[in-house]
Amino acid sequence: MTEMVYGSMPSRVSEPVIPRWWRTIDKWSLTAVLVLFAIGLLLGLAASVPLAERNGLDPYYYVTRQAFFGGMALLAIFGVSMMSPAMVRRLGVLGFAVSFFALMMLPIFGTDFGKGAIRWFSFGFASVQPSEFLKPGFMIVIAWLTASAQDINGPPGKFISFALTVTVVMFLAFQPDFGQAMLVLFGWGVIYFVSGAPMILIVSVVGLTGVGGFAAYHSSEHFARRIDGFMNADVDPRSQMGYATSAIQEGGFFGVGVGEGQVKWTLPDAHTDFIIAVAAEEYGLVLVLVIIALYATVVVRSLIRLTRERDPFTRLAGTGLACIFGVQAMINMGVAVRLLPAKGMTLPFVSYGGSSVIAAGITVGMLLAMTRSRPQGQMSDIFRRGR
């Protein structure tokens, strides 16, 4: 009788997880990331062999490790991108709590590997850099707090997010790691701005950042040395910046040829911070432009898809993740061409480094989860519900 009056209830056929994931994922961004990883392995074959020989290791030692870490990063991308925004939020909060605790323990148990900044935990067979894993979780937490402030009778999420940001930046500055500190501050600024923050507050934060940079210059020899090297008009040809600049100039438009580059034999960080110099020397400007286009594809497509997102948390978190991913790449390449002072920041998926590659995989996995196609309804539906 009930079916005669109300009609029969249609049976809902649950779509399998993987087909639904493939149908809703941003395939262009996923493809761009996979190509970036492939380029990273290709450049690793060129850049890391001289370092392995200097250290008395197997010629492909670093390439093999990069492939292993990259495999873990790909698993993170596929696994995290299948999650719902709510599950990503839980993962981000947990990841931030663990990585922030590890960050606080660095002054006690960390090491600097002779680089002047205590950023790593050394376990002998591998090392971990907590700040790399802190960034994606931090973006999720800040987006959650900021979105919750928009709820009726919600908590003072924006104030809490600002206090948390200042705390994280201070711990990063104590390492010192001013590059990651600025990236974290930038990510907070993006989320705060997108959520509708007044411009006077953004300008105030920029002013305070300038004051903090001035204080850091006069209190940190490590920071002052890098700023002085950047401001000096004459580049020491035997410095890392000098080697990188020479390699980029030698590469020209099409490069000197595969395996013919010389910067990898003289530049200590050719496989990490200055990997783009190896690409420019051996493959020329063509490959550099391809790499830039791949990063731009991920960032621009993600931001476009997020404009259609109705959920504030999803929109804010996705915007923050996309921006720190793109800005980190921009900073790394900007340092190599001497547009920015040296930061010690890797090129996501291209530079060698276990923490960097895996953390980038988590970041992109979260971003792909946030930008998956979901039923959003029409804008007119929102006005209709408000009547």
Q: Are 366 and 90 in contact (CB under 8 A)?
A: no
Q: Is 132 left (phi over 0), alpha (psi -120 to 50) or beta?
A: alpha
pLDDT the model gives residue 381: 46
pLDDT the model gives residue 52: 83
Separation between Cα atoms, residue 310 and residue 314, nearest integer Å: 8
| Span 18-72, pLDDT tens digits | 889 999 999 999 999 999 999 999 998 888 888 888 888 888 888 999 999 999 9
Give the length of the chain.
Answer: 387
Tokens of 258: 């595969």
| Span 218-275, pLDDT tens digits | 666 656 666 655 556 556 556 667 777 778 888 888 888 877 777 777 777 777 888 8
Separation between Cα atoms, residue 284 and residue 191, nearest integer Å: 36
Which long-range contacts link 94-101 to residues 24+ away (Cβ below 8 Å)? 94/137, 95/133, 95/136, 95/137, 95/140, 95/362, 96/134, 96/137, 96/138, 96/140, 96/141, 97/137, 98/133, 99/130, 99/131, 99/133, 99/134, 99/137, 100/130, 100/134, 100/137, 100/168, 100/171
Q: pLDDT means per 10 residues in the chain (387 residues)? A: 46 72 94 95 84 83 92 96 96 96 92 81 86 96 92 85 93 86 92 80 70 65 60 60 78 81 76 86 92 97 93 95 95 84 84 92 97 66 46
pTM: 0.86
pLDDT the model gives residue 234: 57
β-pair partners for 122 = 127
Q: CA nearest 216: which of 227, 231, 205?
A: 227
User: Dihedrals φ, ψ of 128, to 5°?
Assistant: -130, 135
Residue spans of the domains in the chain: they are 24-119+126-372
User: Dihedrals φ, ψ of 127, to 5°?
Assistant: -130, 155
